[in-house]
Every structure is written in structure tokens, then in C-alpha cells.
Amino acid sequence: MSLFGLGSRNQKTFRPKKNAPSGSKGAKLQKHIDATLGSGNLREAVRLPPGEDINEWLAVNTVDFFNQVNILYGTLTEFCTANNCPTMSAGPKYEYRWADGVTIKKPIEVSAPKYVEYLMDWIEAQLDDEAIFPQKLGAPFPPNFRDVVKTIFKRLFRVYAHICHSHFQKIVSLKEEAHLNTCFKHFVLFTWEFRLIDKGELAPLSDLVDSILQL
């Protein structure tokens, strides 16, 4: 299946691509991301452009990484099923339970595809909430904006961790290994640059993360 071909994707887990916030610096910053990524220098691509607002930069990149994970996971929905992946795990030591603090307050054990479905629903709700991700130029970001962004990235990491532990051979057979590696490297460098994920949360892929960061 082509990485960008819709194929027989489950529409509940694969979402239409979201665009950067309109009416803000979003489009301009998105062009900057595309241009710097095109250069192949991912360390340079993640840095805050001179003179730009950090919250604007975090917002545009949050949308971008949401889209990247959506596309990657979307290629695996026929393999990542409740039967094949009855829990949202990242190897034998790590299992993730779902709670959003609103409709599901106590963490519940769910299958991997159900976890990702809950997660994508939750992230979309955050991205579509103008009180959190303002669309209008000059509209203020909320005081807890960075905390929301950190939670989004922490949970997106869990999808990468599950893919790498449970579906890496399928990624290789689909010839998407290089794309996964580039997306994950970009993700790790960005989260490290802005300290968005605690080191302990990265433990399921610690060797891979350390090799990317060259710690």
C-alpha cells in the first residue's frame, strides 16, 4: 500500500490532513518548515525561526506532527487490530491506558486501535478549540497552552512506540522504514529542542532516541 494512498484505511483512525491555523502566521511558518525540511537538516528545521513567537511555532508544528502520525498509522490500520493488538503496548514492559480527564476520568485498558482512535479524537478536539489553538491573528494563547502541547506530544510518542515495537516488520515490508525513521527523528529533535517530553516517557525507545540525540 502506498504511504499516501488511502487504500482500505479505517476512516475512524486515519483523519483528513489538518491545515495550519489560518489567519495567523501559520501558513508562513508552514512554508518555513517545508523549506528547512527540504534542506535535509532536521536539527535546523526544528529551531524557532528568529523573531517568531514560540507559541505560534509550537502550534503549527503540533498540527504538522499530528498529520505525520496520522499518515503513518493510517498505513497500518488493517494490521493493528483489536485481535492483533489487544492492549496499547510498547514491548513487554510498557502498556498505556486511556483517559482524557473529561469523558473518561479513570484510565481504562483498551486495544491499540481503540487507544489511537480515542487519542486522535482528543487531539482533534484540542486543535479545533480556538480557546486553545487560536485561529485569528493576534489572538492570545491560553496560559496552559504549553501543557496541552506537551500532553499531545507525549501521547503521539506512544503511537510511535507502539508502531516500532509491534509493527516494525510490517513497516519494512511496506517499504516505509526510511519515512518512519525520518518522521521519528524529526519528532524527537523537536520535542528535545523545546523539552516537550520527559526523558522517562521516552524509555520504550530509549536506545533509538539516544542515537538520534547522540547523547
Half-sphere CA count of 123, side-chain side, radius 13 A: 28
pLDDT the model gives residue 2: 33
Is the model's pLDDT at 21 over the cut of 80?
Answer: no
pLDDT digits (tens, 9 = 90+) for 76-131: 999 999 999 999 999 999 999 999 988 999 999 999 999 999 999 999 999 999 99
pLDDT the model gives residue 26: 61
Q: Residue type at 52?
A: E
| Separation CA 30–CA 33 (nearest Å) | 5
Which is more confident, 182 or 37? 182
pLDDT the model gives residue 138: 77
Q: In whole angstroms, how far apart are CA 163 and each of 109, 189, 204? A: 18, 19, 11
**Of 67, 94, 90, 18, nearest to 183 (Cα)?**
67
Which domains, from first to last, does the chain contain?
Answer: 24-213 (1.20.140.30)
Q: What is the pTM of this model?
A: 0.85
**Of 140, 143, 122, nearest to 130 (Cα)?**
140
pLDDT band at 16 (very low <50, low <70, confident <90, very high): low
